[in-house]
Every structure is written in structure tokens, then in C-alpha cells.
Amino acid sequence: MERAQDRSMTAAGRRALALLALALLTLLVPGQVHAATPHIAAKLAAESPAPLPGGSTTVALVMTPEPGWHGYWSNGGDAGFGMQVEWNLPDGVTVAPFRYPVPEALILFGMMNHVYEHPYALLADVRVDRSVAPGSDLTLTGIANWLACTDKICVPEKAVISVAMRAGDGAVAPAARRQFDGWRARLPQPLDRPGRWERRGDALRFAVPLPAGTVLDTPHLFLATRDLADYAAPQAFSRNGDQLIVETRARGETTGVAEGLLKLSDGRGLSLRFEPGTVPAAGKAVAAASRPDAALFWTALAGAILGGLILNLMPCVFPILSLKALSLARSGGAAHEAKVEALAYTAGAVATALLLGGALLALRAAGEQVGWAFQLQHPASILVLLVLACAITFNLLGLYALPSFGGGQALAARGGAAGGFWTGALAAFVATPCSGPLLGAALGATLVLPAWAALPIFGGLGLGIALPFLAVGFIPALRRRLPRPGPWMDRFRRWMALPMGLTAVALAWLLWRQAGATGLVAALGAAALAGALAFAAGRAQRHGRAVAPLFALLLLLVPLALWTNHAARAGGTAPTDATAFSPDALVRVRASGKPVFVYFTADWCLSCKANEAGAIEREAVQAAFDKAGVTTLIGDWTNGDPIITRTLAEHGRNSVPLYLWYAPGAARPEILPQILTPGLLIGKAQRR
């Protein structure tokens, strides 16, 4: 006991000396202490400037540190402190405590600091009493105090913060919603069950109920409860089944429930509470991810290749593949031309998949919450795809000739490589909406692999898409089995216009879902423009005139795309008989003790819609769900949602569909297959 007290006093002495050093450094630079401009700028913003009486809104205190400066978490660690605000509130208005994003651990002078070295936002819920009259001034003001530090000095700073609000209808602008959703995505997600903690001599041990499949990159346990742990002491993480064991050194004699935050990786964490109790023995050590798992890499690569191969059956990809095969048949099956075109097609598909994957990784590295097919969450991308689908459809109908999609002898003799490359690129681009069998887990692996190991996974997807055409190009036996050229080829091309035309109709519907009436008008305008260009191009070709200048009219798509992108993006809605997914909603419905079915979908995901029509929304399935008391939550990812993106990542996915089944009392959800059947869902409900 005396040795523990001596160690505690020694640690306290080190902290006192370090604090004294910081104080002396601060006194040596008084100009910094009394600086008129804070080193961390503070600005208060409201999600809705017109909160509804009887309802609530969210405010954000946005903190922007100067380079080299940092702010602090609610428990700053050994030397800092969090935000303190003295509010001046209107009558009928209450402000909840701030919620902090996931911090970083920083050791200075032997002290542990829980800090933010980049811009961050603290969120608080503002509730307006039902008795407040509409139109009342609800302007929030307060005096904020915080600590700003570098690695050499610390400066207490303060500012008057305010945001104008007036009681109204609670409307939220789309731009504000997206901004606040981005800030919410940086908050730790609540863990729906408590952990355990115990003290054994100088050792402090915690058990976190965390499924074994949860990705851990740079784990660290931040304790909001003070004087429980030695913050600067090393933390050891190990696995005991579905329990994550954290061991560190104790500091004080705190008892009772403890609050904390488990950082999983940069920007991702879980908030949880620990109840006193027995902690299981330590298990297999968990280290920060520093090198990729070879088995994970090769499994993901194989899954991406096979998943890409399956995507060739999609109605928007199959016609392109068929036409490229027909171009080989039309050319007479010459081996050299076949190989050149097959390699070019493969290069186009792989390059496009790598480009999309690289953009995804770059956006993630910049702090954006995005996942696979992120480009389809923007109406402008859908508009471009719609024009392409219309152009291909009109070409297949013979309205005009587009060499890249079957130009016969001209393509084989002169433009085979170029045509093959751009056709492969298009095939890969239009195949991105869905995550089919094997592909979801493969793309999910890119969440935990470093960029240099994740990029080949995306390249494998492109290779899988190109494999059938590559096989036709390099295997003479397959080319010999191709039908002989003849009049039937023109009829086949026209039949292929049907799935491409249906794809164009589906894209128009998607634009309407994403941007409402504006999207529908844009879709009709884009289709009309594509039709007019195709008709004009066909006439020019028949009269031997140049075609290229006509396509300068495609520049009209630019203002059309900008107009569509600025439209309201809240057109997609979940079915009225289901509850929209949110972490809070999941915790609430799980507390009822009944089964919960959660599925994540998007209007542009073909396999999602097939599962919904063929399994989820079947009358027999819904009857079984009603009988078992199953609650269904829907995460609609059509227009993007950082919270849903983060939830997908927590389950090893970065694409939809994802289906989760929470059995009553289960420690973790069961991830269901990406192809659902009514029997599977009915069986789950009956085995509740």
C-alpha cells in the first residue's frame, strides 16, 4: 500500500513539475497570454434558425485552432480542461451539455493530453418549451472559456458566442443538414450495453463488450471520469471472445460507475459506461494496425474479382459486354485484333475502378464519410449516366453510329484499342451502383487496409468486370463458338436497346427521387437533348458531314447538372411503415427486448431493390414480422449520410446492401447474406 502511495505521489510530483514548467513558459511570453485574437476561433451555429416550440434543434460550437495549437476534450487529461460556457438563455429554452468528437492522445512533458489539433465542433441539443409563442426571439448568447495550447505554452481564452434564432416551423436547410450530419459523424457512437471495470492493486482493468469483428486501428481508452486512471500510463488491449480487455495503471480510489470513450480509429469511437464488476482474463493481444493481414488481402482480392465477374449480369452492363463480343464475331475472330481489343477493354475497366477507388480513399483521408458508389449520391453524376444510357440506347436502335459500341470492320481495323478502352471504362463506371455477392465484404476490407494494399482490391473489381471479354479475346475456342456474322446481329443489337432503355428510365426515376420535380425536369431535358443529338448525328453521318461539332451541344449539360445538384436532395424517403435508422433509434428499439431488423439501402442499388421486392416487402415476411414483434429500421443511403456510412464501416462494409438482425439479448447483430429470401427472414422471425 505504501509503495502504491509512493508511486502515486511520484506521478503527482511529475505532473506538478510539468504544470509549473508550463506556467513559467507562459509567463515568459505574456504577449501571447493577453493576445486580443484567440488562437482558437470559436463560432456558434444553429442547424435550424427557427426551432419549433415543443421541439428541439442542434447548435454547434465550431472551434478552429491556428496551426500548431490545440484544444481539449471534456476531460483534458493531466493538464487541460474542456469547454465551459456560461449561457444567457431566453425563457423556455434549455441547452444540453456539449457532445465532443473523438479526441487524440498527445503526450507533452510526460503528461497525457486529450486534444484536438484540427478544426472540430462541439454539439449540443437546444430544446424549446411548448409554451413559447411562435415568432419569439430565441437568440442564444454565452461566454465561452477554453484552454488553447501548443507544445510550449498554454493560454486560457474566452469569447462571447451567439447565434440568432426565432421560434418557427423547425425547417432545416439542406446545406445546414449536410454540415451538421458531417459533424455528427465525428461523434462517438453510444454502445448499447455497459462494460465492466475493476482495480487489482495498481492495475486498472476494463472489459468492453465489442464484437470480435470490429475494426480496431489505433485504439485508446479516454476516461471522462476523473482520478480513476493514470492517463499517461501505457494501455494494453487484448481479446477475450467478444470482450475487449483494456489494462492500464490506476491513479485514485474512485468507485461506482465510470464514463469513457473508446477510440477505434481516427475519427471513430464508442461512448460507453463501465459498471464495477469482474473483468475476464486478458486474451490475445491487439495491436494497432500497422501492416495488412495477408490472408485478408488475398481473400478480399479474390472476392473483388469474383464479385466484378458477377456484375456483368447487371442489365446495364450485359449489353455492353454482348456488343463487344459481337464486334469480335463481326471482325472474323482475328487473333491479334481480338487480343488488342480485349486488353484495351480490360485496361479501361481496371483504370476506372482504380480511379473511383483512389477518389474514395482520398476523400476518406480528407475526413469525408463516403463509401463505394459515392458518385451516385450526387444528382449531377446520375445526369451524366442518364445521357450515356440514352446515347447507347439510341445507338443500339440504329439512330446513329458510335464506333466505340460496335463499329464493325472500322473498329477492328482502326479503332479497336481506343474503342475497347472506353467501352471497358464505361462498363466499370455503370457497374458501380451495387455491391453484389462477395463484393460487399471485399470492398469492406479496404476500410482497414492501407491505401497501397486497398487499391489492388479496386483494381481486382475492374479485372473481374473485364474477365469475360478478356477470355473471349485470348481463348480461340471461345471465339470459334461465337455465332457467324449475319443479319441476326442487327436484330440482336436492337434487342439490347431494351435493357439499356430500361436503365435510362431507372436513372430518370432516381433523379426524381433525389431532387424531386427539379430532378424529373432535368432527366427529361437530358433525355431530350441526347435524342436530339443522336438524331442530328445520324443525319450528318448519312450525308457524309462531320459529327463532332454537334456534340459541342453537350455543354448544355453543365448548367443542367449544376441546377440539378442545387435542388433539394431530400427526395428519397423510407417507407412509411418503417422507422428511419439512427443510432439512438436502434438503442431505443433494442431496449424493448424484441427482434430488430436493420437494412441499409439506396434507390440506385439494383440488388437492394431486388431484395426488397423479392423478400423484405413480401406479404408473408411482413406477417411473420408482425407476429414476432420485429421492428424494422431502414438506413436510406441514396443521397449519402455520414452516420450511415460510419455504421457500414463499423460492420466492415463501405457499400450497400447491408442487412443486420438483432436477436433479443444478443451481444452483436448477425450480418445476413446480401441475397435475401423470404424463407430466410421468416425463419429468423420464427426463431426469435
Per-residue pLDDT of 643-656, as tens digits, reads 887 788 777 777 78
Min mean pLDDT across 137-151, 237-251, 456-470, 520-534 is at 520-534
Coarse DSSP helix, strand, coil percentages of the chain, rounded to the nearest 5 percent: 45, 20, 35
Query: What pLDDT is recorded for position 688?
Result: 58
Average pLDDT over residues 338-351: 86
Which of 507 and 154 is assigned the larger pLDDT? 154
Res 213 pLDDT > 90: no
Res 362 pLDDT > 80: no
- For the stretch 469-512, pLDDT in tens is 888 888 888 777 766 666 666 777 777 778 778 878 888 887 78
Which of 297 and 456 is assigned the larger pLDDT? 456
Rounded to an integer, what is the distance from CA 310 to the centroid of its chain? 24
Residue 232 falls in which region: left (phi positive, over 0), alpha (psi -120 to 50) or beta: alpha
- Where helices occur in 475-573 by DSSP H, the ranges are 476-480, 488-542, 557-565
Average pLDDT over residues 193-200: 90
* Selection from 597, 616, 639, 309 nearest residue 442 by Cα: 309
Q: Of all helices (H) and strands (E), which one includes residue 296?
A: helix 294-311
194 CB-near residues (< 8 Å, 6+ apart): 209, 257, 272, 273, 274, 275
Query: What pLDDT is recorded for position 175?
Result: 85
Res 579 pLDDT > 70: yes
Query: What pLDDT is recorded for position 165?
Result: 95
Res 330 pLDDT > 50: yes
Res 334 pLDDT > 50: yes
Res 285 pLDDT > 80: yes
- The answer to whether the beta carbons of residues 429 and 352 sit under 8 Å apart is yes
- For the stretch 10-40, pLDDT in tens is 444 545 444 444 444 443 343 333 445 789 9
Query: What pLDDT is recorded for position 195?
Result: 92
Query: What pLDDT is recorded for position 630?
Result: 92
User: 90 phi and psi, to 5 degrees?
Assistant: -65, 160
Query: What pLDDT is recorded for position 366?
Result: 57
Which of 591 and 483 is assigned the larger pLDDT? 591
Which of 623 and 513 is assigned the larger pLDDT? 623
- Where helices occur in 287-433 by DSSP H, the ranges are 294-311, 318-330, 335-365, 379-396, 408-410, 416-430
- For the stretch 408-467, pLDDT in tens is 333 333 346 776 787 777 777 766 655 555 565 666 666 556 677 778 888 888 898 888
Average pLDDT score over the chain: 78
User: 294 phi and psi, to 5 degrees?
Assistant: -60, -40
Average pLDDT over residues 98-109: 90
Q: Residue count of the chain, please give it.
A: 688
Give whichever of 56-60, 323-327, 550-554 has the largest mean pLDDT.
Answer: 56-60
- For the stretch 370-401, pLDDT in tens is 556 666 677 777 777 777 778 778 877 877 66
- For the stretch 44-76, pLDDT in tens is 999 999 999 988 899 999 999 999 999 999 999
Res 319 pLDDT > 90: no
C-alpha cell at 121: 465542433
Which of 508 and 362 is assigned the larger pLDDT? 508
Within 10 angstroms of residue 362's Cβ, the number of other Cβ atoms is 12
Query: What pLDDT is recorded for position 466?
Result: 86
Min mean pLDDT across 190-204, 262-276, 311-325, 495-509 is at 311-325
- The answer to whether the beta carbons of residues 119 and 366 sit under 8 Å apart is no
C-alpha cell at 455: 487499391
Average pLDDT over residues 293-312: 76
Query: What pLDDT is recorded for position 147?
Result: 92
